[in-house]
Chains A and B, each alone.
Chain A
Amino acid sequence: GQQVQQSPTSLVLQEGENAELQCNFSTSLNSMQWFYQRPGGSLISVFYNPSGTKQSGRLTSTTVIKERRSSLHISSSQITDSGTYLCAMEGAMLSGSFNKLTFGAGTRLAVCP
Chain B
Amino acid sequence: EAAVTQSPRNKVAVTGGKVTLSCNQTNNHNNMYWYRQDTGHGLRLIHYSYGAGSTEKGDIPDGYKASRPSQENFSLILELATPSQTSVYFCASGRDWGSSYEQYFGPGTRLTVL
Known A33-B103, A43-B105: A100·B45 in contact at CB below 8 Å = yes
In the complex, identify which listed stretch (A61-69, A71-79, A102-110) lies at the interface while the others stay far away: A102-110
Q: Which residues of B contact A41 (CB under 8 A)?
A: 107-108
Kindly report which residue of chain A lies nearest to residue B45, judged by CB atoms: A100
**Chain B interface helix/strand/loop/mixed:** strand
For chain A, the count of residues having a C-beta within 8 Å of the partner chain is: 23
Q: Are A86 and B42 in touch, CB under 8 angstroms?
A: yes
Known A42-B105, A43-B105, A45-B104: A103·B42 in contact at CB below 8 Å = yes
Quick check: is A55 within 8 A (CB to CB) of the other chain?
no
Which residues B28-65 have CB closer than 8 A to chain A? Answer: 31, 33, 40-45, 48, 50, 58-59
Shortest Cβ gap from A37 to chain B (Å): 9
Q: Are A50 and B99 in touch, CB under 8 angstroms?
A: yes
Q: Which residues of A contact B44 (CB under 8 A)?
A: 103
Kindly report which residue of chain B lies nearest to residue A31, judged by CB atoms: B101
Kindly report which residue of chain A lies nearest to residue B48, judged by CB atoms: A100
**Chain A interface helix/strand/loop/mixed:** strand
Quick check: is A10 within 8 A (CB to CB) of the other chain?
no
Q: Which residues of B contact A101 (CB under 8 A)?
A: 33, 45, 103
Known A30-B101, A33-B103, A101-B103: A42·B42 in contact at CB below 8 Å = no
B90 interface neighbour in A1, A43, A88, Cβ under 8 Å:
A43
Q: Are B107 and A42 in touch, CB under 8 angstroms?
A: yes
Offer 6 A-B interface pairs, CB within 8 angstroms, sorted by A. Answer: A43-B90, A50-B99, A86-B42, A90-B101, A100-B33, A101-B33
Q: Which 6 A-B pairs have the closest CB atoms?
A: A43-B105, A103-B43, A48-B102, A105-B42, A42-B107, A103-B42
Residues of A within 8 A of B (CB): 1, 30-31, 33, 35, 41-45, 48, 50, 86, 88, 90, 99-106
Other A-B pairs beyond A86-B43, A88-B43, A103-B42, 8, CB < 8 Å:
A31-B99, A31-B100, A42-B107, A45-B104, A50-B99, A100-B58, A105-B41, A106-B42
